[in-house]
Amino acid sequence: MSFDKKIAVLTSGGDAPGMNAAIRAVVRKGIYHDLKVYGVYHGFEGLINGEIQEMQLGSVADIVHRGGTILKTARCPEMYEEAGQKKAAQQLLDKGINALVVIGGDGSFRGALALAKNGIRVFGIPGTIDNDITGTDLTIGFDTAVNTVVEAVSKIRDTATSHERAFIVEVMGRNCGAIALRSGLAIGAESILLPEVPFDLQEISDKLLRGFRRGKNHSIIIVAEGAGNIWEIAEKLKEYSGFDNRVTILGHIQRGGSPSAFDSFLGALMGGKAIEVFLEGKSEVMISFSNNDVIAKPLKTAFEPKEPFNYKLYDLASELAI
């Protein structure tokens, strides 16, 4: 069977709900178009070790609703070295495969680009809960993570109201406050602290006090991981406002759970698009969700500087939480 009839798929970096729907779409649409589709287990590490298996229609049955990734994922230091990159590409070429779909974050896309330099046609599908990839409005997993935060905060709100307390909730986002901003806006947080926007804890404390004075019985402050040390923030707010607060760190629950309908949908669209561009003979492509459509862009778009922080949503959140 010739090279143009074979394609492999792997997941890499952090797992994200909806990756399985993307894997399923790659496998099923590939087989529909008479391709042999191969799954690579454990990301680039598995690729270097030759963990490559042909997928059948049944290999992806009953997975769309499951979180995580059936192909497993890994971080692989060897891929940063030329020797590792060559070995990874050779594993595919030895099996007569010269095309690979990489589902992951921008680090994984850099790994894909390294494989392109070694004779592999590559297609990147943005899969990360952080929504931090340049060139796409949304990444697979972001919507589910935001929904998880909203659900968790609604539970915290019950206890916050009963005790008439401020709760400070840390959500994921070391360099990018997308989860914090969207979930904070969705739940009507009193304040949202992001790595992208400087904040003044004295002002936040004054706002908390104003709220309580006019009869609010609880307050929720959403803090992205990268905005600062949550315990220090809580301590300072306690000192400035003179009343108690509680900290909740949501952690890895934000990565897990069944994908939202939107993430399964996005996974299907993006996986399908990857096969479409493969059949068109393209390479070094990233699949992007732009203006409510799934389109192909050059993979290098993902490495362009991030668009400037969009203050529209942040300002709205502040206006709504006066």
Binding site for ligand ATP (CB under 6 A): 12-14, 44, 75-76, 79-80, 104-108, 110-111, 114, 128, 130
**Residue 294 Cβ vs ligand ATP, minimum distance, rounded to whole Å:** 20
Catalytic residue, from 15, 130, 132, 143: name it. Answer: 130
Residue 234's Cα: distance from chain center in Å? 27
Q: Which residue is nearest to ligand ATP (CB)?
A: 107
Question: Amino acid identity of 126?
Answer: P
Helical axes 311-320 vs 178-187, angle rounded to 10°: 30
Nearer to ligand ATP, 41 or 44 (CB): 44
Nearer to ligand ATP, 134 or 318 (CB): 134
Judged by DSSP in three states, 156 sits in helix
Nearer to ligand ATP, 81 or 151 (CB): 81
**Residue 212 Cβ vs ligand ATP, minimum distance, rounded to whole Å:** 38
Nearer to ligand ATP, 13 or 259 (CB): 13
**Residue 213 Cβ vs ligand ATP, minimum distance, rounded to whole Å:** 42
**Residue 132 Cβ vs ligand ATP, minimum distance, rounded to whole Å:** 7
Residue 147: C-alpha distances to residues 24, 97, 109, 214, 259 (Å): 23, 38, 26, 30, 10
Nearer to ligand ATP, 14 or 272 (CB): 14
Asked if 130 is an active-site residue, the reply is: yes
**Residue 126 Cβ vs ligand ATP, minimum distance, rounded to whole Å:** 9
Question: φ, ψ for residue 223 (rounded to 5)?
Answer: -125, 120
Q: Name every residue whose Cβ is closer than 8 Å to that of residue 54 and which is 6 or more positions away in sequence.
A: 36, 37, 38, 39
Q: What radius of gyration, in Å, describes the C-alpha atoms of the chain?
A: 22
d(CA 201, CA 143): 29
Q: CA dihedral defined by 41, 42, 48, 52, rounded to 10 degrees?
A: 0
Task: List active site positions.
Answer: 130
